Structure 1
Amino acid sequence: MTRNPHVESTPARATLSAEDVAVLQRVEGCELVDLLLPDMNGLLRGKRITRDALEKVYADGVCLPMSLIATDITGNTVEETGLGYDIGDEDRICRPVPGSLRPVPWSPRPMAQLLLSMEGAGGDMFEANPREVLKRVLTRFAQRGLKPVVAVELEFYLFDQRLDSHGRPRTPINPMTGQRNESTQVYYMEDLNDYRGFTDAVAATCAAQGIPADTAVAEYAPGQFEINLKHRDNAVLACDDAVYLKRAIKAVAQQQGMQASFMAKPFAEQAGNGMHIHVSVLDESGGNIFASSPDAPADTLKHAIGGLQRSARDCLLLFAPHANSYRRFVLNAFVPLNDCWGFNNRTVAMRIPHSNEANTRIEHRVAGADANIYLVTAAVLAGMLHGLENRFDPGPPITGNAYEQTEVRTPFWRDAITDFMGSEFIREQFGDSFRHIYGQQKRKEMHSFYTQVTDLEYAWYLRAV
């Protein structure tokens, strides 16, 4: 049997790692374990098992339908991927990710959760699994003696659990004032104080799960918040942190009578939810290859940005995967409508945040919080490596308002799908299988979306035409 040398193989028989055993010891009387497989949309699918079945899962894995990895956003199998009826809806063995076991502090019963990774037909990890896609990009960095350092910022809304009479979300009732949130007070400390019951509970959950969250801010819309994660020199673990954090935020919000949503654009008139990826790159000696000042930016920094510019169109579907994702791209909403860069400038796509020279990094600001964190990070890193290898020139940095100095581009979902499915960059970086499966998944979702008749169509056309 031929195995792919670039894909990490998992032993046929395995036992709990010392780290996972220590977690179980902390979860006194653990009764249940959630087995979590992040799919291509970033949704968590899997099984719930009893504690006494855990050793068998580590030893033999657990079977899940291969089609789960590319299930559409509504939970249906996408036959066009070739993973459904064409192969008899086969099961594949899913293996525990060592060291990923975490307590579930919001559960009323003692409980833990564990990440899974799906095998392919040959026993290696399935190459289209988002976590494996990212790992292959990191392998190419390692072959060049480089190590990315990654941090993730996630924006989200808190909503009232009860929808309005039209089935739409409502901002939450402020727990201190008893009034519905309607004002926009960016970075307003009173909002953080008012919702400290929520933010404190999230912080406690992060501490219990080992999630390195360090900053919470009130964002630029009523009920909108951002929680930031500390940087890691292991990009896969940085993404695992973000997966855990999203689940924790949703669970804590539900416990407190609210709903948390990472939907890209819940309200047309309010700010959208972004996912910002901060990246620096270390060489073999541990030095940051981007270290420089605004007056003399390092060539490596410029080359990496040039690669992000040239891969932006091919990767847009990874940054904006859903129909609603494209509602977020509107003028004067701190969302990039360009592929330019600049220092300490939130109107550009690739921002170099204010810092000392040693901590120079790229903040990639294109993706929405609704995207798959593994795939977003893989796309960002692949673009940067593409630029480093080809020494692309990004042009001069933008000073001031980029919206007024660059051509405003309004992206469309259909175009992004077409660009992705025809992209040689995607094929070369992520493989034919991934390009086909992800592209077909999104094409099917688009076709399903456009078969629906919306309320706006009735309002505009029913009587007028």
Structure 2
Amino acid sequence: MSVLVADVAEAEEFLAKNPDIDTIQIVFTNQSGVGRGKNLRRHELLAIYQHARYLPGTMLALDITGEDVDESGLVWANGDADYLGRPVPGTLVRAPWLGSTFAQVLLSVYELDGTPCVYDPRHVLRRVIDRFKEFDLTPVVACELEFFLVDHERGPNGELRVPASPVTGNRPWDIQVYGLRELDDFDPFFRDLYAACDVQGIPVESAISEYAPGQLEMTLRHRPDALRAADDAIMYKRAIKGVAVQHGVEATFMAKPFSDVAGSGMHLHVSLADRNGKNAFASEAPEGTELLKFSVGGMQALLEDSMAVFAPNANSYRRFRANSYAPVAPTWGINNRTVSFRVPAGPAPTRHIEHRVCGADANPYLAVAALLAAIHHGVKHRLDPGAPIVGNGYAQAAEMGVKLPDNWFKALDLFEASERMKDYFGPDFHRVFIAVKRAEQNRFFSRVTELDYDWYLRNS
């Protein structure tokens, strides 16, 4: 389990080894998954390790656009009171894309009396992880994120475009999944990204060209510390976005940036380690152990309850289409990418579950918390997932008439009604999450868009 608060010795050592660093960016990630914070001067750093940095409570409940949500109770009702921002251990690192003299550190939020703040997504995840102590098991997690590189400038008709290669000038237009030329075309970006990740200790591994022009995917190594795995995902997303800007493009983790090609997911890989650190899912049988099956059963049971976390935005629901490599039903299978919960092929010690529902736009802390809540629920209640799907999971789901919640309002209604999610996430966080998302829904659907004009201006 991660140490909650970094020791001042960590900062002292960093400053001694990095005398050129003059600016440190402090980063807090609220429920919307957007990093917010401040730039500090070098002389200010030790103070946040010795005590903390005061942060306004509104940061805990801003919507995705950065606007206050009064309904959260964290704006005017409590006078926008301050909380304590404290450094996350192991996250004080150089941030080369910001400049040669920049560093960054992640923050987690605490009450003024030093207790963990219930509105901080990182503490939500920590509390769910702690529940596995009753089984003497430790979650082992890795995040696998898809993203698109896109042009800063829109096309002649205002359309979003994938960028031309800085190496060849070629602008990708065809899918070319697993294409090596597509990786070669953006080799300067990848080289700088790997270098930045190495500097930051982010365990990034292989890169592939995914199932759409301009779509890429990189994997993060499994961690026997799920909290640190989520920290990795937060830092990785920031590094990708920062390095992309250095190369004159933008990286987006939007779930569905283009209508006619695949969207971007955050596949969550998970297993459970026993008290000796051995994989409790390991089995020569491809379907794994009984414990693995109970975990899948829990994922099925809590999927509707937690869909608002895995697909947190209006755009998220455009990703779920049959035959798109995004799942459409609470199905599971072995070595099968047409299901939501896949047990990948591999030797027995690597046996694990790949949860394929989550969008790349989800908050990694909350997504991993929802995943582990489902596994805990399944193990505790010994839930049977039924027989695995063999063959085309899309077709079989259609025949069975089962599907995921298919719109933002329905998903949030299910989350709000879920006593299980209230229990796992905590009633206070559960309430604030709902308040922020209801406010976002109202603001999103009050906007008149170009599509409104295209469909209704002349036809109404």
TM-score when normalising by structure 1: 0.95
| CA offsets 1:123-163 (integer angstroms, 9 cap, x no match) | 30101211001100111112321101111101000011112
Instruction: Pick closer, same or farther for the CA change 1:52–1:295 going to 2, 3 Å.
Output: closer
**Mapped pair 1:418 → 2:417:** no
Rounded to whole Å, the distance in 2 between the matches of 1:77 and 1:460 is: 32
Name which of 22, 33, 58 aligns with 1:67. 58
More displaced 10-residue stretch of structure 1: 289-298 or 252-261: 289-298
1:109 Cα deviation after fit: 4.0
Q: How does 1:2-41 map to 2 (within 5 A)?
A: 15-18=7-10, 20-41=11-32
8 Å CA contact 1:202–1:252 kept in 2: the answer is: yes
Instruction: Pick closer, same or farther for the CA change 1:143–1:447 going to 2, 3 Å.
Output: same
Rounded to whole Å, the distance in 1 between the matches of 2:202 and 2:319 is: 28
1:168 Cα deviation after fit: 3.5
Give 2:9's aligned amino acid: S
Q: How does 1:123-162 map to 2 (within 5 A)?
A: 123-162=114-153
8 Å CA contact 2:136–2:275 kept in 1: the answer is: yes
Q: How does 1:142-291 map to 2 (within 5 A)?
A: 142-291=133-282
**Mapped pair 1:382 → 2:373:** yes
Name which of 430, 434, 453 aligns with 1:435. 430
| CA offsets 1:242-278 (integer angstroms, 9 cap, x no match) | 1111111111110111010000000010110100010
Q: How many residues align?
A: 455
Instruction: Pick closer, same or farther for the CA change 1:15–1:295 going to 2, 3 Å.
Output: closer
1:29 Cα deviation after fit: 1.2
8 Å CA contact 2:4–2:89 kept in 1: the answer is: no
1:233 Cα deviation after fit: 0.2
SS at 1:141 equivalent = helix
1:241 Cα deviation after fit: 0.9
Name which of 40, 43, 55 aligns with 1:52. 43
1:183 Cα deviation after fit: 1.3
1:111 Cα deviation after fit: 1.4
1:194 Cα deviation after fit: 1.4
SS at 1:106 equivalent = helix
Gap regions ≥5 residues in structure 1: 1-6
8 Å CA contact 2:148–2:253 kept in 1: the answer is: yes
Rounded to whole Å, the distance in 2 between the matches of 1:84 and 1:163 is: 37
Rounded to whole Å, the distance in 2 between the matches of 1:460 and 1:98 is: 52
1:28 Cα deviation after fit: 3.5
SS at 1:233 equivalent = coil
Rounded to whole Å, the distance in 1 between the matches of 2:330 and 2:339 is: 7
1:95 Cα deviation after fit: 1.1
More displaced 10-residue stretch of structure 1: 201-210 or 159-168: 159-168
Give 2:384's aligned amino acid: D
Rounded to whole Å, the distance in 1 between the matches of 2:348 and 2:169 is: 46
Rounded to whole Å, the distance in 1 between the matches of 2:94 and 2:288 is: 44
8 Å CA contact 1:17–1:99 kept in 2: the answer is: no
1:234 Cα deviation after fit: 0.4
Instruction: Pick closer, same or farther for the CA change 1:433–1:267 going to 2, 3 Å.
Output: same
**Mapped pair 1:103 → 2:98:** no
8 Å CA contact 1:340–1:397 kept in 2: the answer is: yes
1:60 Cα deviation after fit: 2.1
Give 1:169's aligned amino acid: L
More displaced 10-residue stretch of structure 1: 406-415 or 383-392: 406-415
Rounded to whole Å, the distance in 2 between the matches of 1:324 and 1:28 is: 44
More displaced 10-residue stretch of structure 1: 175-184 or 386-395: 175-184
Give 2:76's aligned amino acid: Y
**Mapped pair 1:399 → 2:390:** yes
1:453 Cα deviation after fit: 1.5
**Mapped pair 1:409 → 2:403:** yes
Give 1:284's aligned amino acid: R
The equivalent of 1:3 in structure 2 is none
The equivalent of 1:341 in structure 2 is 332
The equivalent of 1:330 in structure 2 is 321
Rounded to whole Å, the distance in 2 between the matches of 1:209 and 1:297 is: 34
1:105 Cα deviation after fit: 1.3
| CA offsets 1:191-226 (integer angstroms, 9 cap, x no match) | 111111111110011111111101111111111100
Instruction: Pick closer, same or farther for the CA change 1:94–1:295 going to 2, 3 Å.
Output: closer
The equivalent of 2:445 in structure 1 is 450
The equivalent of 1:4 in structure 2 is none
8 Å CA contact 2:146–2:253 kept in 1: the answer is: yes
More displaced 10-residue stretch of structure 1: 166-175 or 230-239: 166-175
| CA offsets 1:343-382 (integer angstroms, 9 cap, x no match) | 1100000000111112110000000000000000010011
8 Å CA contact 1:264–1:328 kept in 2: the answer is: yes
**Mapped pair 1:94 → 2:85:** yes
8 Å CA contact 2:330–2:402 kept in 1: the answer is: no
* Cα RMSD (Å): 1.6
Give 1:331's aligned amino acid: A
Instruction: Pick closer, same or farther for the CA change 1:295–1:132 going to 2, 3 Å.
Output: closer
